[in-house]
Amino acid sequence: MNALALSSLDPLLPSPLEPVEDERFTRHGVRLLLKRDDLIHPDLPGNKWRKLAPNLAAAAGRPVLTFGGAYSNHLRATAAAGRLLGFPTTGVVRGDELAGRALNPSLARCAADGMRLLFADRATYRAKGEPEVLARLLRHAPPDTFVVPEGGSNAEAVRGCAELGRELRDGGVDVAAVACGTGGTLAGLAAGLGGGRRAVGVPVLKGGFLGGEIRALQEAAFGGPAGDWRLDERFHFGGYARTAPDLEAFAEDFEARHGLAIERIYVAKLLYGLVALAEEGAFPAGTTLAAVITGRPDPGQPSAASR
């Protein structure tokens, strides 16, 4: 896969940076911008493009195997890329209890795009980075398959996400915030922002493990720490795809205020957290704050409230 093949997908880059009038920020002297990475590509939106594109360039047209849960945006984006660019894909899905059941809409889309689905039990999935486990999984994939980690987060992806930080730096942003799953987007974003600006990550999983993951990703991508970043782990609402009535009410209110459909698993938690931080005075008056909209609601994916 070369840059010309990827550019044939016609991504919208740099993505738009849109001002939003919201009194919950303006009354604290904070200017809110939305970085619309959800508009980059209809099948590979947001950080999926930024993390997948460098991995696909490294794969150079070889088959790709990657990992995700039953509603993984990353699996869907990888399957769509395979269909659009003509390479085979294999998805290792967490949960062997899903094997033999009717596919949910998200996995059905992966299959329709040509992805071979392998269902792994939880222990195997946790050990997927161990050489013997990975070798066993690769026996079910075509020869010379290129492995992309869960969420696409590796050194190539982090370097790809640094461009997001550079776009925001050029847009005059003081603080950039992003929801975090595996930490790859934040690791690159902080590096691209450069000195004098900071990045805030809002994890959507509980556990407190992301800081070490981000430091390891920056070490692999840049040889050491890069940029000013921090995590606020208060807004996961119980973990991945977990929610509460006040989060759902917040998302519905934001949609009504601004006419923007809000993806629930990542983006709603990010925006909720930023409103709370603004109320706490975390952003000095005069701050230009950018919220990275990393994805959009998918009709095949249930809202977090239903899970």
Q: Which residues are catalytic?
A: 72
Q: Which two tokens stand for residue 215?
A: 């430091």
Residues 278, 267 contacting (CB under 8 angstroms): no
Residue type, 229: W
Where do the H-state alpha helices sit in the chain? 3-7, 23-26, 47-59, 73-85, 105-112, 122-126, 131-138, 155-170, 184-193, 210-222, 245-258, 267-279
List b or e across 185-194, with b for residues whose CB sees 16 or more CB atoms inside 10 angstroms: bbbbbbbbbe
Can you tell me the distance from the alpha carbon of 299 to that of 130, in angstroms, rounded to the nearest whole number? Answer: 35
Spatial CA neighbour of 203 closest among 174, 178, 168: 178
Residues 243, 262 contacting (CB under 8 angstroms): no
Residues 289, 274 contacting (CB under 8 angstroms): yes
**DSSP string for residues in 15-27:** PPEEEE--HHHHT
Spatial CA neighbour of 158 closest among 206, 203, 225: 225
Q: How far is CA 105 from CA 59, 72, 134, in A?
A: 28, 11, 27
* Cα of 257 vs its chain's centroid, Å: 25
